[in-house]
Amino acid sequence: MATAAEVAQLAERPEAQLQTTEFRAVRPQIVGPDSPESPFPILLAGPVQKGFGRGGKELGCPTANLPDESITPISSVAKPGVYYGYAQVLPPKDGKTELCQDDIRVHPMVMSLGWNPFYKNEILTAEIHIMHEFRSDFYGYDMNALVLGYIRPELDYTSREALIEDIEVDKRVALNSLARPQYAKYQEDPHFDFSCTVATS
């Protein structure tokens, strides 16, 4: 079986459709069935890596990138696009970190799986935006994520402003979709670690 790194390097980048005002006008505010259906939930885990640095600086949406080998569970069964679910950043084993206890709770997330056609990436990436204001960076920390549903296909854009607008809609759609009982219960899934704590100074 090919590794995720091989998949990321060898997969042919598909042509993404261009985002249009017509597409934006008909976007639903809740997506997916009332409870997750196959292939969801998809479990992901791995250390957070530095990405391109564009999410926070250019798009107002900082992302945590998973390493290539961590995205095999989703890249083998799902198409490029935007997904929603939950994620948790885990503190170091000694608990010493600038993160606070609220930072390491399970939070809603949106994830982009694809090539980011607006930026012409050459490899497949999984970039997760956790909808929470973190106290500090957490590069190198382990992260667990649970992908529960699909929002939309990967799109290309003629402007950064249109991309930012769609990202904001993605966040609202994710929160609305996760508010349903059969999705909200996954905040307590065993995939997450509820025993971890952070050291207080």
Q: What is the pLDDT of residues 162-195, one digit of tens each?
A: 888 888 999 999 999 999 999 999 999 999 999 9
| Inter-residue contact 78 to 178 (CB < 8 Å) | no
Q: Is residue 153 part of a domain?
A: yes
Q: Is the pLDDT of residue 52 over 90?
A: no
115 within some domain: yes
Per-residue model confidence (pLDDT) at position 102 = 96
Q: What is the mean pLDDT of the chain?
A: 83
Classify residue 104: in a domain, yes or no. Answer: yes
- Specify the pLDDT at position 161: 85
Residue 172 placed within a domain:
yes
Residue 156 structural domain = 4-11+37-180
Q: What is the pTM of this model?
A: 0.83
- 188 flagged as catalytic: no
pLDDT, position 1: 38
- What distance in Å separates the CA atoms of residue 196 and residue 160, rounded to the nearest whole number? 38
Residues 6+ apart with CB under 8 A from 118: 156, 157, 160, 163
Q: Is residue 192 part of a domain?
A: no
Q: Of 55 and 180, which is predicted with more confidence?
A: 180
Q: Please give the full DSSP string across 135-191, using - where no structure is assigned.
A: SS--TT-EEEEEEEEEEEE-EE-S-HHHHHHHHHHHHHHHHHHHTSHHHHGGGG-TT
CB-neighbour burial class of residue 21 (10 A; exposed 0-12, middle 13-18, buried 19+): exposed
Name the domain count of the chain: 1
Tell me which DSSP letter residue 21 carries.
H
CATH code: domain of residue 77 = 2.40.30.30
Residue 178 near residue 147, CB atoms below 8 Å: no
Mean pLDDT of the region 114-131? 74
How many whole angstroms separate alpha carbon 110 and alpha carbon 112?
A: 7
Domain presence at residue 174 = yes
Q: Which of 121-130, 151-160, 163-172 has the highest mean pLDDT?
A: 163-172
| Tens-digit pLDDT profile for residues 4-31 | 444 444 345 455 455 555 666 678 999 9
Q: 176 lies in a domain?
A: yes
Residue 151 lies in a domain: yes
User: Which is the catalytic residue, given 6, 69, 98, 127?
Assistant: 127
- By percentage, how much of the chain surpasses pLDDT 70? 78
The pLDDT value recorded for residue 55 is 46
